[in-house]
């Protein structure tokens, strides 16, 4: 079992949630709101809408969902079950969180070098059972790395990408728009 169902035809965004502010981070405190943002186009009230789902990973807060217009909505049962199933296995969930802690604590330094950025992406990819397919896309300004994207494949050769920039990590499947905008080859 892996976390891959969370990114099939959808995306996950993990951002620093003020981790760079040197605040004390206590994963055991319910007041800390450590979460993953999941974005998907899903049918709500009979219309396909972009929704943002907030998945708490350090508390037993409920999942929350908002439409693009910040209207709170109920999480559709199928989507809720998909999320719960992916995080149901405590060992998988804890391994993923344990991997994220040092990445988030030192978020601003993740782009200090290409090797460090690649290491971050590869460590995250293993939790989704993805293998790097050798494609790397680097965006620089002068000598500074602004964004690193790597393309991965699953056991069925379906492509996914993981991007790291100064504000977030994004994990998603490769669709035609992404293929064109990021210049990803098949």
Residue 9 counted as domain residue: yes
Same domain, 125 and 171: yes
Residue range 163-172: mean pLDDT, rounded: 91
Residue 46 counted as domain residue: yes
Residue 124 counted as domain residue: yes
Same domain, 19 and 79: yes
- What is the Cα–Cα distance from 130 to 152, expressed in whole angstroms? 6
Indicate if the pLDDT at residue 12 is higher than 60: yes
- What is the Cα–Cα distance from 42 to 173, expressed in whole angstroms? 16
Give residue-wise pLDDT tens across range 151-161.
999 999 999 99
Same domain, 15 and 89: yes
Indicate if the pLDDT at residue 147 is higher than 90: yes
Lowest mean pLDDT among 15-24, 40-49, 78-87: 15-24
Residue range 99-118: mean pLDDT, rounded: 88
Closest CA to 35 of 43, 45, 27: 27
Average pLDDT, the chain: 81
Same domain, 31 and 73: yes
pTM of the complete model: 0.81
Same domain, 85 and 22: yes
Indicate if the pLDDT at residue 19 is higher than 90: no
How much of the chain exceeds pLDDT 70, in percent?
Answer: 78
Same domain, 171 and 99: no
Check: CB of residue 37 under 8 Å from CB of residue 53. yes
Indicate if the pLDDT at residue 124 is higher than 90: yes
Same domain, 19 and 95: yes
Same domain, 48 and 127: no
What pLDDT is stored for residue 61 in this prediction?
Answer: 72
Indicate if the pLDDT at residue 135 is higher than 80: yes
Print the domain residue range for 158: 108-181
User: Which one has a higher pLDDT value, 74 or 113?
Assistant: 113
Q: What band does 163 get if pLDDT is binned at 50, 70 and 90?
A: very high
Check: CB of residue 132 under 8 Å from CB of residue 117. no
């Amino acid at each position: 079992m892996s976390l891959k169902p969370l990114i099939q035809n959808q995306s996950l965004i993990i951002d620093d949630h003020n981790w760079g502010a040197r605040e004390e981070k206590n994963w055991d405190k319910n007041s800390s709101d450590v979460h993953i943002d999941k974005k998907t186009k899903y049918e709500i009230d009979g219309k396909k809408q972009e929704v943002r789902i907030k998945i708490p990973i350090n508390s037993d807060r409920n999942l929350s969902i908002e439409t693009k217009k910040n209207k709170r909505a109920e999480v559709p049962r199928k989507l809720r079950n998909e999320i719960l199933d992916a995080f149901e296995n405590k060992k998988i969930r804890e391994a993923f969180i344990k991997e994220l802690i040092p990445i988030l604590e030192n978020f601003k330094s993740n782009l200090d070098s290409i090797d460090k950025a690649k290491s971050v992406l590869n460590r995250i990819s293993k939790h989704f059972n993805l293998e790097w397919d050798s494609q790397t896309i680097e965006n620089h300004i002068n000598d500074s790395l602004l964004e690193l994207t790597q393309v991965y494949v699953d056991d069925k050769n379906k492509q996914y990408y993981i991007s790291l920039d100064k504000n977030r990590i994004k994990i998603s499947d490769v669709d035609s728009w992404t293929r064109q905008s990021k210049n990803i080859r098949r």
